[in-house]
Structure 1
Amino acid sequence: MKPLLFKISMFFVCFSLNSQIKTVFYESINASQLNTLELAIKNIPLDVKKSYDDKVRIDFKLEFKNFSEREIDSVINQIELNNRIENKKLILKINSKEEISKRSVYIHERITNKEMQKLMNKILKSYTQYNSKKKTKKEIIEKHNKFRQELTDYASLEEKELRNKKNKLMKSFFTLYLPEKLLNNLNVKAKRCRFDFSDLELKNLDLFVDDSYLNILKLSNSKITCWNGSTFLGEVESSVIIGRSTTSIMIGEIANSNLITEYTKVEIGEIGKYNDIKDFNSKFYFYNYNDKFEKFDFKGEYSTIYFYESDLDYDMSCYGYDTTYFIDKDTIVSQPSKTGKKSKMMERKRKNNKPYSGEVNFDIVHTKFYYPKMLKK
């Protein structure tokens, strides 16, 4: 089938005489005969939203302030979009030769707004300094939403400050609208992207992201692979999550899932039923546990584990060798094994003083294990 591709050049009146919005692409595709979507995207920030009229809509706009016509054309011409339909599958490729952000500011005159500086310092502190306080699923989600809102507030202040200056500003509004059947049959490969599924519940998603930001509200029966970048997942059910060299993976709640990680920081607000984690050289924060999590298995090498005490009763066993345990002010060292044979290093038996929630099994070597009273609740 002939590729469906067109680029529109239209201008609209915007906030000031030296600001304009340009529609880069707009297309509406009938999805009544489509079953799946294969999406490849590079250097593009993309919001994915639900379509309610059984159509795929591609709506890409850019806003420019203090850009010349030549500069605008240069940005537009580096963006490519191609799509075709094969065997009831929509294949969509979106690419920019250079990375496009949600907002890009090109400084000509220095901005000295104290309110902006104060907010930016707050954002940087929130992002770079870790608070070891125990967090619930709700608090994990609220922390993520607060960070996003602070970035939005900063952008608003910055744009207000820019109105009477010669600085250049470019904003992108790239949105892909998909009907529910394609949202639940989606295969994605993304590189250097900001990928936002913020208000969607997704099923059967197969997604690979590299050097990107990913935001998903709810996920089930899916496979997510994250290399580099950062990922937020509100709820995960019956899925496989793979993280490699990822700055941060934040999960509100996870159940019946597998997590495979290398060199990644992971925070989990609540561990539900039957989860299995395999790790190499990552840092984990396990905050809370479902009242019937049943069984949780962790196998790791060179891991760092912060295990927060459960509010319910549970069993826990730790097998392995060469692991250091930090309990209150005490440090307990399990020696290396010359033969590589693992043995029981630590065990906690249920105390029968609270409702029983499940068993935790650690198979770990060359690991640092922080447990549990030293951690603030």
Structure 2
Amino acid sequence: MKRSTFKICILMLITSVSMYAQRKTVYSESFSVDKQTTAIFNLENTTVAIEESRDGKIHFDYTLEFDGYSKKDIKNKLDELDIRAIMFDNHVTLAAKSESQLSKVNYVYDVNELVIEYDGFSKSKDSIMRKSKDSIIREIQSNGRFGKFANAMQYVDNRFKVKDKDGKLRKIRKGDVKIMRNHFVIRIPSFLKLKINGKNAQITMLENTINELSVELKRGYFNAKELLNDYNSFKINDANFKSEGLVGGNYEFNNVSQGLIGSIQEVKITSEFSKIEIGEIREKAFITDFNSEYWFYNWSKDFKRFDLLSEYSKIHFFYPETYDFSMKFIGNNTVNHFDNIAVTMQPTKNGEKFNMVERKAKGEGHFSGAINFDIVHGIIYTANDTFIKPKQ
């Protein structure tokens, strides 16, 4: 058993609910809006959940629950918050800021020494096994943070111990902790045009969203069900991004360490230095990438055309299983892995691109679409493509 001792103040998510929590209303406001109303939310160091309003109003409801905090501690925490919204000239502006970063639930334990015990946990090896779209969506929907443990307290009990003065280890007692739960729910009508500026913000869209969204997020995460608008514009930097489906819009991902997308359709993605898994590629998607890692797991019956333009990318590619399709990889200085065979396309002197892999449609049965890769200085892992022969 390996142990490492350190001094720490834990900040983590918790799903448990306490009967004795003190609830404080931080902010409550609503505004009547119409189809010409626009809104901008400026979020810093806070967590919000956004859902649909069905009464033609924007509602802001923010409460905090405190468990184990003194009155003085509660006041200090409330004083760290600056929440205000105004409506002027048919435009709503929300500014929500916290001096310290707030997660959905904050767990604080001040102690001289904690010991973390590694009880059989091991980092999983990279896998290129095909995932279904439904399995990607389940990953998005599930918490996933605490693995096999039901909640964070169980996670802490299994991973962390307190080291007493006599050197003995004991479990963390619930009475020793302070818990603060963050409930900031915003309800917006489906016709509202919304811009979100986030910094260290954690944003969750609780329902399928047809609103036109313009989102710029630096650090934090953006979790959503399906985003359904041709005019969506997203810029995600140094943050995590998860969505059950993207239909329409432009998405820029920069240094997204955990990207999970159920399906994409009629979207343009520009990315760099990111890791993105896509459960299913649907109709007319285009990706431009630099130095990212992608997983393309499945293809719809009528994806029609998919284009990838990339440099220094690593691609895990799973070919369409059922229907007829065509495929063409062009590029330069790229390694193709076919099962246990690696084919290296050496760089040309003038950097000219050439055909690396080509598969023509068989002309039998339903034709799903054309797959086109233009990739330079990259790596492609092609799974189970025994019938595809690379250009020699």
Distance 1:34 1:326, change over 3 A: same
Give the letter aligned to residue 350 of structure 2: T
Give the aligned CA root-mean-square deviation in angstroms.
2.8
| Mean Cα deviation higher: 32-41 or 277-286 | 32-41
Deviation digits for residues 134-186 of structure 1 (CA, Å, limit 9, x no counterpart): 1222121012223458579313657999775221111111111222222xx11
**Cα gap change, 1:112 to 1:61, in 2 (>3 Å):** farther
1:246 CA drift (Å)? 0.6
Contact 1:46/1:176 (8 A) holds in 2 = yes
Say which is worse superposed, 46-55 or 297-306, in terms of deviation: 46-55
**TM-score, length-scaled by structure 1:** 0.85
| Partner SS state of residue 153, structure 1 | coil
Q: Which residues of 2 match residues 249-260 of structure 1 at below 5 A? A: 249-260=259-270
Runs of at least 4 residues off by over 6 Å: 109-114, 158-163
Superposition deviation, residue 341 in structure 1: 1.5
1:137 aligns with 2:112: no
Deviations 1:322-372 (A, max 9, x none): 000000111101011221211112211223455221111111110001113
Change in CA separation of 1:77 and 1:266 when aligned onto 2, cut-off 3 Å? same
Matched with 1:305 is: 315
From 60, 68, 71, the equivalent of 2:62 is 60
Structure 2: stretches of 5+ with no match in the other structure: 1-17, 158-170, 387-392
Separation in 2 of the partners of 1:153 and 1:61?
Answer: 25
- Partner of 2:340 in structure 1? 329
For 2:176, what is the secondary structure of its paired residue? coil
Aligned to 1:199: 207
- Whether the 8 Å CA contact 1:34–1:90 is kept in 2: the answer is no
1:217 and 2:215 are equivalent in the alignment:
no
Shift of 1:256: 1.0
From the two aligned structures, give the one with the greater helix fraction: 1
Q: Is this contact kept in 2: 1:33–1:88, CA < 8 A? A: no
Once the two structures are overlaid, the 10-residue window that deviates more, 257-266 or 199-208, is 199-208
In structure 1, stretches of 5+ residues that fail to align are 1-13
Equivalent AA in structure 2 for residue 55 of structure 1: K
Q: Distance in 1 between matches of 2:54 and 2:131?
A: 36
Does residue 154 (structure 1) correspond to residue 151 (structure 2)? The answer is yes
Contact 1:329 1:374 survives alignment (8 Å):
no
**Which residue in 2 is equivalent to 1:360?**
371
For residues 293 and 365 of structure 2, the distance between their equivalents in structure 1, rounded to whole angstroms, comes to 29
Q: More displaced, 159-168 or 188-197?
A: 159-168
What does residue 292 of structure 1 align with? 302
8 Å Cα contact 2:52/2:188 also seen in 1? yes
> Deviations 1:254-310 (Å, cap 9, x if unpaired)?
111101000001111111111111000000111111111111110000000111021
1:347 aligned residue (358, 369, 385)? 358
When normalised by structure 2's length, the TM-score is 0.82
Question: Which residue of structure 1 lines up, in the alignment, with residue 42 of structure 2?
Answer: 40
The verdict on how the C-alpha distance between 1:369 and 1:44 changes in structure 2, with shifts beyond 3 A counting, is same
- Distance change >3 Å, CA 203–CA 242, structure 1 → 2: same
Aligned to 2:19: 15
2:138 match: secondary structure: helix
Aligned to 1:7: none
CA shift in 2, pair 1:179/1:315, >3 Å: same
Work out whether residues 190 and 209 of structure 2, in 8 Å CA contact, stay in contact via their aligned partners in 1: no
Q: Distance in 2 between matches of 1:288 and 1:158?
A: 34
3-state SS of paired residue (1:133): coil
